[in-house]
Every structure is written in C-alpha cells, then in structure tokens.
Amino acid sequence: MMKISPKTATLLVLTALVAITPFFFPSGYYYRVGALIFVNGLAVTGIVILTGYAGQISLGHAGFAGIGGYACALAPVHWGIHPALAVVLGAAISAGLAYLVGRPILRLKGYYLGVATLGFGILVSMVLNNERDLTRGPDGIEVPELGLRAVLKDWGLNLSNGEFWYYFCGLFLIVGAWIALNLHSSPAGRALRALHGSEVAARTVGIDVPRMKLQAFVISAVYASVSGSLLALQNKFITPDVAGFMHSIEMVTMAVLGGVGSVLGAIFGAGILTLLPQVLTVFAEYEQMVLGLVMVLVMIFLREGLLPSILRRLRGRGE
C-alpha cells in the first residue's frame, strides 16, 4: 500500500469532509453551520501555529478578527475598495499591528503574556465600541455584499447563499490548513517547535527566538483577521462582539479542546464547539453547564485534546 504523509492525509480528510457532507444535509441550515465551522476552523488553525507550534498564548486574538471584519465593513464604504480587497487590507493591517504589538509583548511569558494579549484585545474592542462616528458603535454595522456569488451565477454556477458560503469558507480552510501544514514541515516550523520545547535550548542551537515567535504571532493574526472578514461578509453585518474577550477565549478553547498540536485536531475542536450550542438547544437551560463541563473534562482526561487522544486509542487497539 502506498504510504501517505500525515500532511496529505490531513488535506485529503478535510477536502473529503467539505465535499461529501453536503450530500447528507436535510436543509439549507446545515450549510450555514458548516460554513461557521470552517470560519472558526480557519481562526483556530492560526492558534495552532501560535500555541501548538511556538508555545505562546494569546487571550486577545479576537482583536485581529475584529480588524478583519471591520475592514470589510468600512473600507468599501469609506474608500470604495472592493470587499475582496478589504479582506487583504484587513489582513495587512492585522499583520502590521501584530508586528508592532508582538515585539514588546512576546518577551513576556505565561500568564503575563496572557494579560498583555488580553489588554490588546480589549483595546481593539473598545475602539470598535466607542468610535461611533466610524464604526456605528456596539449595535454594529452592515457589511457590503461580496458579489462573487453573482459572478459565479453568470458563469453558470448557481449556488444558494448558504451553499456559496459553505464552499467558499471550506476552500479558505483547506488552503489555510495547507499553508499551516507546509509551515510545520519547513525549517521555520521545526525551529518554532524547538522553541516550544525549550527556549533556552533553541537559543543555544542558534535559533533567533524573538524573531521566530514574532513570525508565528503575525501569521496567526492574519488567520484570525481573514476569519473575521469571512464572518463579516457572510453575515453581511458585524458588531464589536467579534473582537470581544469571549471570542478570544472561544478560539483558544476550540484549538486546545480539539488538540492544539495538530491542524486537524484544532479544526475538529472548532467543529465540536460550533455544533454544541446547536445540539444543546434541546435542553437550552443546561447549555452553559454542559459547555463548562465539557471544557473541564476534556482538559483533565484527554490532555492532548480530543482528536489526538481518540486517534491514539484507535491506534492502540489496532496494534
């Protein structure tokens, strides 16, 4: 049998999931849930690079999602930029900001890094809330139509709104995962993982530790920004909640719950946490308790995250 690398395997699994699951969708609503899983999966892939590869924590990454989202809301209106270009603009601003902010704060470790990134996220969401003249404040602002669906229609590909966003976000997720996986096996990726193991050891073998950390921070900021843009364009509406503390926590939780060490694991976590509230509507009263309990139990009993633990058990049985 042909041996396939974990990288190819991950991409194959993802592509198959995106392509095949729609055959089992009983209604248009499932496309919406799927698209949300992909958007969250993209943000979480960035967390894998930052936390899984480089071992750094961020409690403020939603700030970048906010920048990406509001770029799509504001740039087309104020500067007449096409929404698609606004995605790129948002990513560029996020990358620039991550570079500026990352330099000083990545010197901090553990909880100190946590509070510094938390502060960054809160500052961004505060600006979005308070600069009413620009952002229209906490009630949110409309986001222009991307317009790609109409173009596809002209080409003879007629998709419903839900279908379009499902495949579009799915495509972004696959590309995002592909980039992250390539990074993993590149020399830079090996250096990142080395510094996760021990910064001092990494430094002694000649790795430029601050630079590597900064790179991981900037790349993960771009992932968060693009996911924020996709969310804004899909919803055609955005509020400052997207940059809020709870959204930052949600990203980290999804990644760690699924397995922050692997791209597929983190995306799996995004899937679980996106589906959970939809499944729990049956007993909405207990939703918060169940969610809290799931977070605690997984972290205690499946420390590497859900997917790696499950895979290990399966493999252990096979051998």
Show contacts with another protein in window 15-74 (CB under 8 A): 17, 21, 24, 26-30, 32-33, 36, 51, 57, 59
Q: Considering only residues 73-102, where is the footprint of another protein by CB under 8 A?
A: none
Find the shortest distance in angstroms from Cβ 190 to another protein. Answer: 19
28 DSSP 8-state letter: T
Task: Annotate each residue in 140-179 with x if it binds another protein (CB under 8 A) or - if it does not, as one string.
Answer: x-x------------------xx-----------------
Residue 81: CB atoms within 10 A of its CB come to 18
The per-residue DSSP string of 92-148 comes to: HHHHHHHHHHHHHHTTS-HHHHHHHHHHHHHHHHHHHHH-HHHH-GGG-EE-----H
> Is residue 229 a contact partner of residue 236, using CB atoms and an 8 Å limit?
no
- Binding residue (CB under 8 A) for another protein from 6, 96, 100, 109: 109
205 binds another protein (CB under 8 A): no
Contact region with another protein (CB under 8 A), list: 70-78, 86-94, 118-126, 185-193: 118-126
> Is residue 34 a contact partner of residue 17, using CB atoms and an 8 Å limit?
no
- Binding residue (CB under 8 A) for another protein from 116, 181, 191, 273: 116
Contact region with another protein (CB under 8 A), list: 2-10, 80-88, 150-158, 232-240: 232-240
Find the shortest distance in angstroms from Cβ 166 to another protein. Answer: 12
Question: What gap in Å lies between CA 276 and CA 287, rounded to an integer?
Answer: 9
DSSP alpha helix (H) spans, the chain? 6-20, 29-47, 62-79, 83-105, 110-130, 132-135, 148-154, 161-185, 187-197, 199-204, 209-235, 245-258, 263-279, 287-301, 306-318
Task: Kindly report the backbone phi and psi dihedral angles of residue 57, in degrees, each rounded to the nearest multiple of 5, phi listed first.
Answer: -105, 145
- Binding residue (CB under 8 A) for another protein from 200, 205, 206, 316: 200
260 binds another protein (CB under 8 A): yes
Take residue 173 and report the two structure tokens written for it.
């997720």
310 binds another protein (CB under 8 A): yes
9 binds another protein (CB under 8 A): no
Q: Closer CB to another protein, residue 107 or residue 211? A: 107
118 binds another protein (CB under 8 A): yes
Find how far residue 232's CA is from the centre of its chain. Answer: 14
267 three-state secondary structure: helix
Q: Closer CB to another protein, residue 92 or residue 290? A: 290
Find the shortest distance in angstroms from Cβ 81 to another protein. Answer: 22
How many residues make contact with another protein (CB under 8 A)? 88
- Binding residue (CB under 8 A) for another protein from 85, 148, 287, 309: 287
231 binds another protein (CB under 8 A): yes
CA proximity to 190, closest of 48, 18, 54, 13: 54
> Is residue 215 a contact partner of residue 188, using CB atoms and an 8 Å limit?
yes
